[in-house]
Chain A
């Protein structure tokens, strides 16, 4: 699935070149994001190299197989729009410790417990912003973010993607692992963009490659 080209009319070499470029852009963004996040939360932040998946909704099972791991837990989504449009899905699994990261965002220990969902919404917002800001800067495009929302408390990310009444058919899914040393657990970020915006994305990349 990861190898399937979304654009049969484009020569394979070009397609591969674009994918490599996209991967490189994301890698750079993640590096920058990790640095700024570390600065904000004053802790070591780890963001994995993004795994690129080209997904068809009918094949979400394949995504499940292709993903490094399929997390299950609190799922928060945040829409982004502008030149590109898509959603960031972040899954926080049970057992992660948000005390330290919460303190760095001026939440007391009790508030971390009491307002965990708000804290997670805020972390998602910061993460999403951090990860995509670099991409937007490199591509020289405008991106805005909507308010993050808690959409499920005990589901697998893929179950959310599989929802039969959702409107997408094909999408690009970037899978990123995120952890802060004090969190003692990895959370998973999926940056998803539906098919119709991939062309625009590639147009930017073509522009960069020229």
Chain B
């Protein structure tokens, strides 16, 4: 019968090792012998035969198994190769070592020895399949995450596109309307100027008639004239008329200014490189944004230096000024102050434009991102996240630089440096010379 048991043990698709409480090897079955790299000798220490086995840990386990007469387990996830047994498939296998689940079983007390059995189960297939699954799942999760992010970006980009389209349409409309208003405004203004002269002459005519009537003797006529004059409040009319006309004229002039600025700003007519006065651009931009920033900004300080004209795309630079000014006003809650400084750096043949606000400031964590396309701190649909990135692109195209300095609760300062003659244009003019 003993032979039958031995045969069963040897035919088992499990590794069986029996040893005593001192970890002295008493028996190993064929599975262990066949799959272990070295020949296994009985009577020796388990740890000389299997040096890969962590001794202190294993002895502790043996101790606990003997103490509690129970079975202890290890799993391939934590101890993939408890013993250096080789993978059973030398041809189709992809791993050298076998993944194992193991049980440490207390057998009992025989011949003054505690006997313990270590049973090794080949878990290679399960382990490899599970690891592959986990890897695939991980990849899927990552792809899912990426897709989610892309989707989000797409949504944002879409809403920004809509917003951009809207802005472009509004801009075109504004320029068109400005143009349309400009024509009638021109004749309204010249008509008012005409009216100013005519009414002046009419008043003079009245005075002349009055003085003529004063000279004749019929008091009746004089009294009736005075009464009529009083009834019609002519004296007050004479007093207020020039003022009324002046005010109207002033209003008309202002409308013309705004429409002019709008036209200048969009420069639909000129998108070519040209010599331009930066101060003119700043002034026209200020007029455009005035309605947007006047609610929060009390004071705009224009600290303008003496600047030469620079070779640039004026409408694009205006776009930059507009973005910076509008951003500045958005950073301000109330009692805002915006300082615009311009300087000419003769040594380097550059000009600088610094726009400083006393608003909320930009947190350090996002300071490096503000020029990134689609980065916005405003709600979706409110900010395009493109303003500063477009500005950055424009300044780059001018071979200039834009820098930002910000302190929380104190404000933000943008410094634009522009060459008077960008290298591109210099080379162009060289060629033409």
A residues contacting B by CB (< 8 A) are 36, 39-40, 104-107, 115, 117-118, 121-122, 125-126, 128-130, 133, 144-145, 147-148
Contacts and interface: CB of A to CB of B under 8 A. Distances in A.
Nearest to B55: A106
B75 A118 contact: yes
Contacts of A107: 57
B71 interface: yes
Given A106-B54, A117-B78, A122-B72, 10 more contacts: A36-B67, A36-B68, A40-B64, A106-B56, A122-B61, A125-B70, A126-B68, A133-B68, A133-B69, A145-B70
Pick the most buried of B61, B63, B64, B67: most chain A CB atoms within 10 A of its CB.
Answer: B64
Contact of B75 (A36, A39, A145, A147): A147
Pick the most buried of B68, B70, B71, B77: most chain A CB atoms within 10 A of its CB.
Answer: B68
A104 B70 CA distance: 18
Contact of B57 (A105, A125, A147): A105
Nearest to A126: B64
A125 B102 CA distance: 14
Interface string B45-74: 000000000101101110110011111111
Nearest to B106: A129
B78 A40 contact: no
B163 interface: no
Contacts of A145: 70-71
A129 B68 contact: yes
Interface of B: 54, 56-57, 59-61, 63-64, 67-75, 77-79, 101, 103
A118 B59 contact: no
Contact of A148 (B68, B69, B73): B73
Contacts of B59: 106
Nearest to B68: A129
Given A40-B63, A106-B59, A147-B101, A121 B68 contact: no
Nearest to A105: B60
A207 to B, nearest CB: 22
Nearest to B74: A118
Contact of B67 (A40, A105, A117, A125): A40
Contacts of B64: 40, 105, 126
Contacts of A121: 73, 75, 78
9 contacts: A115-B78, A121-B73, A121-B78, A125-B70, A125-B71, A125-B72, A129-B71, A147-B73, A147-B103
Nearest to B54: A106
Contacts of A106: 54, 56-57, 59-60
A200 B398 CA distance: 91
A129 B104 CA distance: 13
A144 B71 contact: yes
Nearest to A128: B70
Contacts of B63: 40
B122 to A, nearest CB: 15
A93 to B, nearest CB: 21
8 nearest A-B residue pairs (beta carbon): A129-B70, A118-B78, A147-B73, A106-B56, A106-B60, A106-B57, A129-B68, A105-B60
Contacts of B68: 36, 126, 129-130, 133
A198 B287 CA distance: 90
Contacts of B60: 104-106
A106 B64 CA distance: 12
Contacts of B79: 118
Contacts of A128: 70
A32 to B, nearest CB: 10
A104 B64 CA distance: 11
B73 A125 contact: yes
A5 to B, nearest CB: 33
Contacts of A115: 78
